[in-house]
Amino acid sequence: LTDAVIAVKVHTPSVDSLFRTLSEEFYESGVKIDVDIVVRELLKRESSCSTGVGKGRAIPHATIESLDKTYMAIATLADPIDFKSIDKRPVKLVIVLISPPAAVDEHIALSARISRLCSKDIFIELLSQSEDKDDLVQLILEEDERCGG
């Protein structure tokens, strides 16, 4: 989680604006990206199939040619938004992965680990209630340890 962008209680009205906000956070944290390209690629992936995986969570992801490694953003939302999730529930926890084309194995392994961590409703609720970044990170580290991190 040292390189992850962490955003707590994000105020955003839509998926589009969320992707823009998180892409700008990546850029501001030093990730060398074109914000518009990242937003476009995330939206393109979302239009082919929703990344709203149910239980109030979404795991959007995209391949970005210019990246040298995989990056992650974790965001809790102040107000849940519609992600056209499989269970039709609005999303309150979003974990974005952007990676270079050569990092397919890492991307798949990280996606599986995230899915395992976020499989418990109580964990999602605790993350959603986090008031600051440090609290959110601590909760994730503790759950990862319990899951055999």
Give catalytic residues, as residue numbers: 61
CA 26-27-32 angle, 5° bins: 105
Answer for the pair 90, 65: CB distance below 8 angstroms, yes or no: no
SS3 of 75, please?
A: strand
Which is it for strands 57-58 and 52-54: parallel, antiparallel or unpaired? antiparallel
- Cβ atoms within 10 Å of 9's Cβ, excluding its own: 15
Q: What are phi and psi of 129, to 5 degrees?
A: -90, -5
